[in-house]
Structure 1
Amino acid sequence: MKILFIGSRLYDDVDWYVKEKGIESVLTESNENAINLDLPDQVFIVPRGMDGPKQVALMQNVDAIIPLIGIDPPLIDVAHMKEEVEKEHGIPVIAADVRAVELTSNKIKTKEFYNDIGVVTPNYQILTSPDELTLDFPVVLKQGEGQGGKDIKVAKSIEDVNEYFNDFNQALCEEFIEGSEISIEVLGFNGEYVALPPIYKGETTIEGTHPLNKVKTGPCMVKGLDNNLVQHTAYKVAKNLNSDGIFEMDFMYSPKNDQLYAIEVNTRPNGTRYLTTATCSVNSLCELINMAIGEFSLANISDKLEYYYSTEIPIGNYEGPSPKEPVKSFAYNDFVVHGPEGYQRVTARANSKKELEDLVDKLT
């Protein structure tokens, strides 16, 4: 079995699994100085875009293509490449299709999609001027595209809105939901979908604290919230997107309204994947490989499911004990260190809350 991976930044997360499965690995990357280029069997430096990876896939006669891309801008090019390569060459590309990417990469289209399928989302309006605002403060101002908190502002007054419009001509304006932030991964392939355990990402803040600066835990344990509701809603969203790959969804739960709100959905690997793996022993990136080699199924996922208490802590530069090889696998470790130097995080798991507390004390 020969698989082409597109992008090297996330490749070290799966290299151990690729070798364990005896897969011949080919990787394309546009940056000749990128990390992890020493890990695959073959590496090809190609121009930006999907034409280079497509040509390498055909030249190398690969059996499948797995894009390991964790940012939004290239996803539509990947989707177009997927549809072309699968139709004309019969090579499966384990990624979302054009329709799914178009619906999820623009927050305004995502809102319309939620409304169409009957999933509750915060009240919103599209502003072309601060004078059009009718929602009560505080409100959240966003652009249609962007990730990782980019171009998002919590506005507490009309002055804040005016300030936002100094930089933008339009805004998606949402009511601010006070409550718990929740993330969940859904895996989908060939019409089968499975929602993994929800992850708790902290409480919403008027200051708009970035998710990377919050301590996260799994599984999600929020008073008044049924995790089955989160999984059912996430499953419904993925089912209606009707595509393949990883779907990462963000929700808010308001205890005041006893309401779960859908915020956004991404069709790419995401920042909570380590915590999800720690919590349930299902690694979403490894499952992309299983999709490519014919080993993905709901039954196989069910057989792997385990249940742990887990947490992810921003730590800057990790100086604790070294994990076992392979260092990115929870199959061999009770903790994983990830992220670039200066912004590292530790994700740890244990069988009980007390054991987890003790482990965190040892690591930090």
Structure 2
Amino acid sequence: MKLLFIGSRLYDDIDWYVRSKGIESVLTESNENAINLDLPDQVFIVPRGMDGPKQVALMQKVDAIVPLIGIDPPLIDVARMKEEVEEEYGIPVIAAGVRAVELTSNKIKTKAFYDEIGVVTPNYQILNSPEELTLDFPVVLKQGEGQGGKDIKVAKSIEDVEEYFTEFDQALCEEFVEGSEISIEVLGFNGEYVALPPIYKGETTIEGTHPLNKVKTGPCMVSGLDNNLVQHTAYKVAKNLASDGIFEMDFMYSAKKDQLYAIEVNTRPNGTRYLTTATCGVNSLCELVDMAIGEFSLSNISDKLKYFYSTEIPIGNYEGPAPNEPVKSFEDNDFVVHGPAGYQRVTARAESKEELEKLVDKLT
């Protein structure tokens, strides 16, 4: 079996798994100085865009293509390439299709999609000027496109809104929900979908604290919230998107209103994947490989499910004990270190809260 992987930045997360499956790996990358280029069997440096990967896939006669892209802008090009390559050449591309990407890559379209399928989302309006605002403060101002907290502002007054409009001509404005931030991964392939355990990402703050700066835990344990509701809602969203790959969804739970709100959905690998793997034993990136080689199924997921307490802690530069090889796998580790130097995080797991606390003390 020969697979083409697009993008090298995430490849070290799955190199160990690809090798364990005896897969011949081919990788394309547009940056000749990118990390992890020493890991695959073959590497091709290609221009930006999807034409280069497509040509390599045809030249190398690969059995499937697995894009490993963790940012939004290239996703629509990947989706168009997927539809062309699957239709014209019969090569599976393990990624979301055009419709799913178009609905999820623009927050305004995502809101309309939630309304259409009957999923509750915070009240919102599209502002073309501060004077149009009808929601009560505080409100959250966003742009239609962007990720990682980019161009998001919590506005507490009309002056804050006016300041936002000195930079932007339009804003998605939604009510500020005071409550718990939750993330969940859904895996989908050939019409089958499975929602993995929800992850707790901390409480919302007026200051708009970035999730990377919060301590996160799994599984999600928020008083009053039924995790089955989170999983059911996430499943409903993925089912209506009707596409393949990884769906990462963000929710808010308001204990005050006892209401779960859908915030956004991404059709790409996400930042909580280490916590999900630590919590339940299912690695979403490895599942992309299983989709490509015909080994993905709901029964296989069920067989892999485990139950741990886990946490992810921002640590800057990790200086604790070294993990076992492979360092990005929980197969032989109870912790994984990830992220660039200066912004590293440790994700750890244990079979009880007490054991997890002891492990965290040892690592930090």
TM-score (norm 1): 1.00
Query: What is residue 209 of structure 1 aligned with on the other side?
Result: 209
Query: What is residue 250 of structure 2 aligned with on the other side?
Result: 250
Query: What is residue 13 of structure 1 aligned with on the other side?
Result: 13
Partner amino acid, structure 2, of 1:340: P
Cα offset for 1:347?
0.1
Cα offset for 1:319?
0.2
Query: What is residue 39 of structure 1 aligned with on the other side?
Result: 39
Matched length: 364
Query: What is residue 224 of structure 2 aligned with on the other side?
Result: 224
SS of the residue corresponding to residue 161 of structure 2 reads helix
Partner amino acid, structure 2, of 1:67: P
Within the alignment, does 1:190 sit opposite 2:193 as a pair?
A: no
What are the equivalent positions in structure 2 for 1:301-320 lying under 5 Å apart? 301-320=301-320
Partner amino acid, structure 1, of 2:121: T
Query: What is residue 161 of structure 1 aligned with on the other side?
Result: 161
Write the distance in 1 (CA, Å) between the matches of 2:256 and 2:174: 17
Write the distance in 1 (CA, Å) between the matches of 2:66 and 2:289: 7
Write the distance in 1 (CA, Å) between the matches of 2:128 and 2:271: 32
Partner amino acid, structure 1, of 2:195: A
Write the distance in 1 (CA, Å) between the matches of 2:330 and 2:233: 28
SS of the residue corresponding to residue 83 of structure 1 reads helix
Query: Once the two structures are aligned, what percentage of the paired residues are identical?
Result: 90
Write the distance in 1 (CA, Å) between the matches of 2:334 and 2:122: 37
Cα offset for 1:138?
0.1
Write the distance in 1 (CA, Å) between the matches of 2:221 and 2:256: 17
Query: What is residue 293 of structure 2 aligned with on the other side?
Result: 293
Cα offset for 1:76?
0.1
Where structure 1 has 5 or more consecutive residues not aligned to the other structure, the ranges are none
Q: Output one character per residue of 1:95-149: Cα deviation in whole Å (capped at 9) or x when no partner.
A: 0000000000000000000000000000000000000000000000000000000
Q: Output one character per residue of 1:150-198: Cα deviation in whole Å (capped at 9) or x when no partner.
A: 0000000000000000000000000000000000000000000000000
SS of the residue corresponding to residue 184 of structure 1 reads strand
Query: What is residue 174 of structure 1 aligned with on the other side?
Result: 174
Write the distance in 2 (CA, Å) between the matches of 1:152 and 1:92: 36
SS of the residue corresponding to residue 166 of structure 2 reads coil
Partner amino acid, structure 2, of 1:13: D
Write the distance in 2 (CA, Å) between the matches of 1:20 and 1:348: 23
Query: What is residue 98 of structure 1 aligned with on the other side?
Result: 98
Cα offset for 1:268?
0.1
SS of the residue corresponding to residue 329 of structure 2 reads coil
Partner amino acid, structure 2, of 1:31: N
SS of the residue corresponding to residue 193 of structure 1 reads strand
Write the distance in 2 (CA, Å) between the matches of 1:19 and 1:112: 43
SS of the residue corresponding to residue 354 of structure 2 reads helix
Partner amino acid, structure 2, of 1:336: V
Partner amino acid, structure 1, of 2:50: M
Within the alignment, does 1:322 sit opposite 2:328 as a pair?
A: no
Write the distance in 2 (CA, Å) between the matches of 1:210 and 1:228: 26
Write the distance in 2 (CA, Å) between the matches of 1:241 and 1:103: 8
Q: Output one character per residue of 1:41-63: Cα deviation in whole Å (capped at 9) or x when no partner.
A: 00000000000000000000000
Within the alignment, does 1:350 sit opposite 2:350 as a pair?
A: yes
What are the equivalent positions in structure 2 for 1:50-199 lying under 5 Å apart? 50-199=50-199
Cα offset for 1:269?
0.1
SS of the residue corresponding to residue 340 of structure 1 reads coil
Query: What is residue 27 of structure 1 aligned with on the other side?
Result: 27
Query: What is residue 363 of structure 1 aligned with on the other side?
Result: 363
Write the distance in 2 (CA, Å) between the matches of 1:113 and 1:3: 33
Write the distance in 1 (CA, Å) between the matches of 2:182 and 2:220: 7
SS of the residue corresponding to residue 301 of structure 1 reads helix
Q: Name the Cα RMSD after superposition.
A: 0.2
Partner amino acid, structure 2, of 1:305: L
Cα offset for 1:17?
0.1
SS of the residue corresponding to residue 256 of structure 1 reads coil
Write the distance in 1 (CA, Å) between the matches of 2:244 and 2:27: 21
SS of the residue corresponding to residue 54 of structure 2 reads helix
Write the distance in 2 (CA, Å) between the matches of 1:51 and 1:332: 39
Write the distance in 2 (CA, Å) between the matches of 1:96 and 1:226: 28
Partner amino acid, structure 1, of 2:271: G
Runs (4+) of structure 1 moved beyond 2 Å? none
Q: Output one character per residue of 1:313-345: Cα deviation in whole Å (capped at 9) or x when no partner.
A: 000000000000000000110000000000000
TM-score (norm 2): 1.00
SS of the residue corresponding to residue 154 of structure 1 reads strand
Q: Output one character per residue of 1:77-105: Cα deviation in whole Å (capped at 9) or x when no partner.
A: 00000000000000000000000000000
Write the distance in 1 (CA, Å) between the matches of 2:147 and 2:73: 10
Write the distance in 2 (CA, Å) between the matches of 1:257 and 1:117: 21
Cα offset for 1:278?
0.1
